[in-house]
Amino acid sequence: MSADEAAAIAVDVSLRRGDFALEAAFAAGPGLTALFGRSGSGKTTLIDLVAGLARPDRGRIVAGGQVLVDTAARVFLPPHRRRIGVVFQDARLFPHLSVRQNLAYGRVFARRRHDPAQFAAVVGMLGIGALLDRRPAGLSGGERQRVAIGRALLAEPRLLLMDEPLAALDEARKAEILPYIERLRDEAGVPVVYVSHSVAEVARLAGTIVVLEGGRVAAAGPAEAILRRADLIPLHGEPGALLAMEVAGADPASGLVRLTGQAGQLLVPDLAHPPGTRVRVRVPARDVLVALDPPQGLSARNVLPGRIAALNPAETGVLVEIDCNGAILAARLTAAAVRDLALVPGREVVAIVKSAAIDPAGFGSGRPAVTI
Amino acid sequence: MSVGPGLIGLGPEEWQAVLLSLKVAAVATLASLPPGLAVAWLLARRRFPGRALLDGVVHLPLILPPVVTGYLLLLAFGRRGVFGAALAEAGIVFAFRWTGAALACAVMGFPLMVRAMRLSLEAVDRRLEQAAGSLGAPPLMVFLTVTLPLSLPGCLAGAVLAFAKAMGEFGATITFVSNIPGETQTLPSAIYTLTQVPGGEGAALSLTLVSVALSITALLVSEALAARAGRRLEAE
């Protein structure tokens, strides 16, 4: 079995439709892999190819050891035999069935006996126990999307595809459903491929990111590394570091909440996370300052010692990577500042982060990002 | 026949015609359902060579003079017909039997049934069918568990229309299987016969009222089912 066969999903396909050409190869392991890119970058086409709703001109798709498509060997598994769960942007619940019947729909075809414990576990994980006897027409957008996730999970897929599942929801509904997706990622044990054009969602959820641009894979790798790449700024807007941290407790002196992690300690305005909660914090590079010595008389609360790991030229200025005890922070500086401070790789510095720059609403929870 | 002779002026022969018509129309409708659904689904969901031809053939009875349809049926399914001779050996006879009347009614009602079913199948969101497929449902199960339930009111409305058409079918039936009391004399044939004999006007009028009542009932049922289908689609 090659590495591709062992991966949760390995894709190597090409397809041409009019002016649009897709030529993409990537592999994803367990956990949540984000397919990230602008609209028109080929994300949905890739989803259709994996789900079996479209055929590639050439290529091969393998999921969990099962060959789904292999044009060379003339293999094309029809959608219903792929065991690829799909959560669509528009939920697509069956309007003539109750929530309970919607959830049970795939089980019949998975040829599994009804397992009340698993049903209860999925219903509990998604918090949809009170909705079971209702009809989809009476549900809110967020509720529908949770039922759609449960329905896909209960069909026991080898892989779950989520096609912009939050794009049709307003901010409040997104905030309501994100924790459930984190639980899905951490508890369900099903690899997830998550399509999105939102940096915030991807930063919060993804372990691995595959960046698509113009039908090609522009970059792929661990979320932390992709999100601070200077050359991808046109795509993701603002680079930043992803830090895996834990809520240590309130800091009475400042009225802030103290987070601890590999990089050190951060004071942030937290809303509701109890001590012990593991969070992933996105620190935008534009909100990080670099000083040669620990500052005196400065309002910023968060001062993390580290050493320059790399200096990457960015569209405007320089993206400085700072290794803080193994965790990488990114700071966006002007070329002049880099010159004045004589920053070179290896140089010891302190990184300064404004507490208010960190948005607690964007905290991801659960395990830190999985890297492969 | 014991059913109320004299009631609204119907004699045993008239009652016989009404009951025969109901039987013929019911059999014609039920027998058309599976092929009607299959053809409607093919036209609604599949692109294949010969699709336009199939569409045209299905609609032919709607535009041909009924006498022509009846005569074509006679050529095909008469005792010496292209298929009739072979079927007769197998013990299936249509000529001058009530089964022939049912066949004629089925053919004449088929375009109406297929049209209504096709429209309601086309209205089913294909994305729901894709979702069902992604949950492991093979195509036939997708049809039975998603497509058919969602289009059921429209499909039933199509069946009701075909039934109403069968109750009123005259030209093709009388050409194909003649007008034999108790065997092929359906309601319209009986009315026609009564208008041709002296003193038959009273009975003809009674049968006409029965016919009007049955037609209006069928139309109301069809409208109610169509309205229900519309509501269901709006609820999504």
Residue A89: in which H helix or E strand, if any? Answer: none
* Eight-state DSSP code of residue A191: -
Q: Choose from B120, B128, B129, B134 for mutation: most chain A CBs within 10 A.
A: B134
Chain B, window 21-80: residues with a beta carbon less than 8 angstroms from a chain A beta carbon: none
In this predicted model, which residue has the larger pLDDT, A269 or B144? B144
By mean pLDDT, which of A8-17, A243-252, B27-36, B104-113 is the weakest?
A243-252
Nearest by CB to residue A80, choosing from B136, B146, B232, is B136
Task: Provide, rounded to the nearest whole percent, the portion of chain A with pLDDT above 70.
Answer: 91
Do A151 and B135 lie within an 8 Å CB cutoff? Answer: yes
Q: In this model, does residue B158 exceed pLDDT 80?
A: yes
Going by pLDDT thresholds of 50, 70 and 90, the confidence category of residue A279 is confident
Give phi and psi for A281, each to the nearest 5: -115, 130
- Residue B203: helix, strand or coil by DSSP? helix
**Residue pairs spanning A and B at CB distance below 8 A:** 70
Shortest distance between the Cα of A92 and any Cα of chain B, in A, equals 6
Dump pLDDT digits (tens) for A128-160. 999 999 999 989 888 999 999 999 999 989 999
- Cβ neighbours of residue B155 closer than 8 Å, sequence gap 6 or more: B37, B40, B116, B117, B120, B121, B148
Nearest by CB to residue A155, choosing from B136, B139, B142, is B136
Give phi and psi for A318, each to the nearest 5: -130, 140
Shortest distance between the Cα of B146 and any Cα of chain A, in A, equals 7
Do B128 and A92 lie within an 8 Å CB cutoff? Answer: yes
Going by pLDDT thresholds of 50, 70 and 90, the confidence category of residue B166 is very high
> Is the separation of the CB atoms in A221 and A209 below 8 Å?
yes
Which residues of chain B make contact with A53, given a CB cutoff of 8 A?
A: 130
Dump pLDDT digits (tens) for B183-231. 999 999 999 999 998 988 888 999 999 999 988 888 888 888 778 766 6
Chain B, window 194-233: residues with a beta carbon less than 8 angstroms from a chain A beta carbon: 232
- Residue A12: helix, strand or coil by DSSP? strand
* Eight-state DSSP code of residue A271: S
CA–CA distance, A282 with A240 (Å, rounded to integer): 6
Do A51 and B127 lie within an 8 Å CB cutoff? Answer: no
> Is the separation of the CB atoms in A178 and A184 below 8 Å?
no
CA–CA distance, A219 with A205 (Å, rounded to integer): 18
Q: Choose from B135, B140, B152 for mutation: most chain A CBs within 10 A.
A: B135
In this predicted model, which residue has the larger pLDDT, A245 or A79? A79
Chain B, window 132-151: residues with a beta carbon less than 8 angstroms from a chain A beta carbon: 132-139, 141-142, 145-146, 149-150
Average the pLDDT over B107-129 and give the result: 94
- Tokens for A179, please give them: 């924790």
Average the pLDDT over B129-134 and give the result: 94
Do A109 and B139 lie within an 8 Å CB cutoff? Answer: no
- Residue A365: helix, strand or coil by DSSP? strand
How many Cα atoms occupy the beta-carbon half-sphere of B224 within 13 Å? 7
* Eight-state DSSP code of residue A269: -
By mean pLDDT, which of A208-212, A355-359, B49-53 is the weakest?
A355-359
Which residues of chain A make contact with B133, given a CB cutoff of 8 A?
A: 52, 78-80
Do B134 and A78 lie within an 8 Å CB cutoff? Answer: no
Q: In this model, does residue A287 exceed pLDDT 90?
A: no
How many C-beta atoms surround the C-beta of residue A196 within 10 A?
22
Residue A50: in which H helix or E strand, if any? Answer: helix A43-51
Which residues of chain B make contact with A190, given a CB cutoff of 8 A?
A: none
Strand order in the sheet with A364-365: A264-268, A256-261, A240-251, A278-284, A364-365
- Tokens for B12, please give them: 């045993």
In this predicted model, which residue has the larger pLDDT, B74 or A354? B74
- pLDDT value of position B27: 96
Do A96 and B132 lie within an 8 Å CB cutoff? Answer: no
In this predicted model, which residue has the larger pLDDT, A365 or B75? B75
Residue with tokens 């620990």: A294
Q: Which residues of A touch B (CB under 8 A)?
A: 51-53, 78-86, 88, 90, 92, 94-96, 105-106, 108-110, 136-137, 151-152, 155
CA–CA distance, A22 with A44 (Å, rounded to integer): 11
ipTM exceeding 0.85, yes/no: no
Please say whether the dihedral angle defined by the alpha carbons of residues B67, B71, B72 and B74, taken in this order, is positive or negative: positive
- pTM score of the predicted model: 0.78
| Rounded (to 5) percent helix, strand, coil in chain A | 30, 35, 35
- Cβ neighbours of residue B171 closer than 8 Å, sequence gap 6 or more: B65, B66, B67, B69, B70
- pLDDT value of position A60: 94
